[in-house]
Structure 1
Amino acid sequence: MQRNSIPRVRAHGDAFSIGVALGRATAAGFRERVMRTEEYNALSGRWCGSDYLKALESAARASYPRYVREIEGIAVGAEQDFDSVFLWNCRGDLRLPEHVSPTTKAIAATGCTSLLVPAQQGRPAVVAHNDDGAAEFNGACVWVDAEPDDGLNWSSFMYPAMLPGHTFGANGAGLVQTVNNISSHDLKVGVPRQIICRAILDAKGMDDAVEILRRKDRASGYHHNLGEAATGRLVSVEAPASGCAVREVDTARAHANHLIFEEFRSLDQKITLSSRNRQQTADRLIAEGALDVGSEGVLFDETAPIYRVDRDCDDKIETLATGIFELFEDRVEWQVHATPKERKTLCGTIAVR
């Protein structure tokens, strides 16, 4: 199978203009990949036009109208109606109908693997991440460099027609974010989690980002890895809809796509076998010193596997890209690997403003 080429897209202007550019860049992916999936069609059939989806939209517009405007631009650029694109941006806030296939349920419960590695012995702090998704999205994602009229510049990996932020990226304040899916069962009406992730791309620093995640009106949630270049501070945050737990990180740690903090021990969630295996394997590899050769020593593991490609895993997905962010006081140096054999497909530096 041909691997992800990861086109690089540059966008600038107001929120709507940026959205239009992103919609145009991912229009084919949305039309030919997303809209043909059972997941999208099941969600559309169940929720499009519903009062629940309208309530999510109202919550998003009330709290973050600029990001809804960005979605409006994405819809125009992709030549799709707003409702279809907004629904796609709420995929994690909506329950799938019971009749969907086990494979689609597994894909919806899937996630990624992230590492937080504090600075040590002259090495900068590192935030690293495998972004895993449905095989249909392989080759349909892009890397975005945005220069908004208002706010900080930012860069992020982006799925077709979906707000950037929920994958891996960084901004001009030197804030890095990588995100892991969680499948907790505490969904409620509130601000969609894609909107929350996008808001963090505009955060002015770590404290600002954590404050966003502490909002009590979130519709659902993710696990967030955050790094701040100026201070070298690393934070791991589990933020389902019903709570938020923050851990300052002073030793290397990994996180797959299920809740592991004590605060959420009793919260009902789906844990795939793959997620459990990746968490255990990453913890073991870190203890064995695999990080001595860099984050790739863990993220490219093929035993669990942590790095996944066209395998018969229980959640039926692939690693679409790997992002590595090194945090220096005045900058973030980043690189994106398309595959273990196609390293540094993209790279760059974001100066801290």
Structure 2
Amino acid sequence: MSRNRISRVRAKGDAFSIGFALGQASASGFRERALGTEQFRALDARWRGSDYLKTLESAARAAYPRYVREIEGIAAGAGQDFETVFLWNCRADLRLPEDVPSATRVVATGCTSLLIPAEGDGPAIIAHNEDGSAEFLGTCLWVEVKPDEGPAWSSFMIPGMLPGETFGLNEAGLVQTINNIAPNDLQPGVSRQIICRAILDARGLDEVLEILKRMDRASGFHHNLGEAKTRRLASVEAPASGCAVREVASPRAHANHLLSREFYGLNQTITPSSRDRQEAADQMIAEGALAGGAEAVLFDETTPIYKNRQDENSRTLATSVFVLSPDRVEWRVHAAPDERDTLSGTMRVV
């Protein structure tokens, strides 16, 4: 039996019905793993019932009421009150109290992505290590959703979280993988989780870029984006205070800090792990490691790019590879280097 079980869940219907199914499927993981984390307890003590959290909720309801409805469904399906689940989804939009241990602050600062543009008539490739709290090993889901409204989509899901903020794709041929960033520019606005979910409903890359250029975002991510129809790839750094878009013409990697010159003056937290993974991946690409496939870089355990050390809070929860051709996206998810192709499939572009 797999040491890192990834359950496959299907859901369909309206926003609340979808959320309810996903909440049911992730209920035990959320209750037993998320609610007991130091991070959640600290955020709960500081922000529950606060005007700031209510401001984030109001912004989300005004901009994307359907995705708030999905969160309401997740809460109902998981047997939790809405504020608990909404607070969990807004954890990166809220400042942790100063007395919280540094290990708690950096536990979610993982993920490494590769963007490999098409050569000739070949496919483009996006590959990604999803890193997160070690508590979530064996509790995450791969969800396949057919909503009443918008394209069908699939995504990796952390218990209790609105899907989209990890890695996923939709039947319009859009692929998205997400890397955490930690700039010091949080502001009242739409949670980055909601923004990621909105991208799963987009019909094309240009529509995605318009979403990421919104000026009312509460915080942000680095987004790795691909459009199968055109095989375009884009690397987008989108903290709350700006948006830097780079169309990708040669293979590149991204870890967890802002690289664009537009953000040189923005104060950000860069962990030693993020710096090490960025430097190692860049060097491996320059030395031709991608000839052995994206996994040759993402499964590196010397740096490590693949996080598997028992003494670390942050671990690699899954590795994904998306192969983008004009008419389809072929995808595979590895639970571990020795548990490859745990899940795989092909999504036809509609």
The match for 2:134 is 135
The match for 1:20 is 20
Matched, 1:283 2:298: no
SS in structure 1 opposite 2:284?
helix
The match for 2:7 is 7
The match for 1:332 is 329
Q: Provide the rounded CA distance (Å) in 2 between the counterparts of 1:311 and 1:121.
A: 43
Q: Percent identity?
A: 67
Q: Provide the rounded CA distance (Å) in 2 between the counterparts of 1:106 and 1:66.
A: 31
SS in structure 1 opposite 2:240?
coil
Unpaired runs of 5+ in structure 2?
Answer: none
- Per-residue deviation, 1:123: 3.4
Deviations 1:295-337 (A, max 9, x none): 0011001111000113445xx3000000100001001000000
SS in structure 1 opposite 2:122?
coil
Q: Provide the rounded CA distance (Å) in 2 between the counterparts of 1:111 and 1:214.
A: 24
Matched, 1:319 2:316: yes
Q: Provide the rounded CA distance (Å) in 2 between the counterparts of 1:312 and 1:137.
A: 15
Equivalent residues, number: 350
Q: Provide the rounded CA distance (Å) in 1 between the counterparts of 2:234 and 2:329.
A: 16
Deviations 1:258-298 (A, max 9, x none): 10110001101101000000000000000011100110011
**93-102 vs 304-313, which moves further:** 304-313
- Per-residue deviation, 1:169: 0.3
Q: Provide the rounded CA distance (Å) in 2 between the counterparts of 1:6 and 1:266.
A: 40
Q: Provide the rounded CA distance (Å) in 1 between the counterparts of 2:36 and 2:139.
A: 13
The match for 2:32 is 32
SS in structure 2 opposite 1:104?
helix
Q: Provide the rounded CA distance (Å) in 2 between the counterparts of 1:74 and 1:310.
A: 32
- Per-residue deviation, 1:121: 5.2
- Paired letter, 2:197: R
SS in structure 1 opposite 2:107?
helix
TM (normalized to structure 2)? 0.98
The match for 1:350 is 347
The match for 1:76 is 76
Matched, 1:299 2:303: no
- Per-residue deviation, 1:136: 0.4
TM (normalized to structure 1)? 0.98
SS in structure 2 opposite 1:129?
strand
Matched, 1:220 2:219: yes
Q: 2:332 touches 2:342 (CA, 8 Å); kept in 1?
A: yes
- Per-residue deviation, 1:3: 2.9
- Paired letter, 1:350: M
Q: 2:60 touches 2:189 (CA, 8 Å); kept in 1?
A: yes
Q: 2:168 touches 2:177 (CA, 8 Å); kept in 1?
A: yes
- Paired letter, 2:5: S
SS in structure 2 opposite 1:298?
helix
Matched, 1:257 2:256: yes
- Paired letter, 1:47: W
SS in structure 1 opposite 2:35?
helix
- Paired letter, 1:229: A
- Paired letter, 2:19: G
Matched, 1:194 2:193: yes
Q: 2:230 touches 2:326 (CA, 8 Å); kept in 1?
A: yes
- Paired letter, 2:250: T
- Paired letter, 2:15: A
The match for 1:89 is 89
SS in structure 2 opposite 1:33?
helix
Q: Provide the rounded CA distance (Å) in 1 between the counterparts of 2:278 and 2:243.
A: 20
SS in structure 2 opposite 1:225?
strand
How is 1:124-203 mapped onto 2 (pairs within 5 angstroms)?
Answer: 124-203=123-202
- Paired letter, 1:67: Y
- Per-residue deviation, 1:4: 1.7
Matched, 1:236 2:235: yes
Deviations 1:241-261 (A, max 9, x none): 000000000100000011011
Q: Provide the rounded CA distance (Å) in 2 between the counterparts of 1:150 and 1:102.
A: 42
Q: 2:122 touches 2:325 (CA, 8 Å); kept in 1?
A: no
How is 1:49-128 mapped onto 2 (pairs within 5 angstroms)?
Answer: 49-108=49-108, 110-120=109-119, 122-128=121-127
Q: Provide the rounded CA distance (Å) in 2 between the counterparts of 1:346 and 1:224.
A: 23
The match for 1:46 is 46
- Per-residue deviation, 1:138: 0.6
Deviations 1:114-166 (A, max 9, x none): 00001125531000000000000111110000000111000000000100000
SS in structure 2 opposite 1:62?
helix
Runs ≥4 residues deviating over 2 A: 310-313
Indicate the RMSD between aligned Cα atoms, in angstroms.
1.1
Q: Provide the rounded CA distance (Å) in 2 between the counterparts of 1:333 and 1:26.
A: 26
Q: 2:186 touches 2:240 (CA, 8 Å); kept in 1?
A: yes
Q: 2:143 touches 2:155 (CA, 8 Å); kept in 1?
A: yes
Deviations 1:192-233 (A, max 9, x none): 000000000001010000110000000000000000000000
Unpaired runs of 5+ in structure 1?
Answer: none
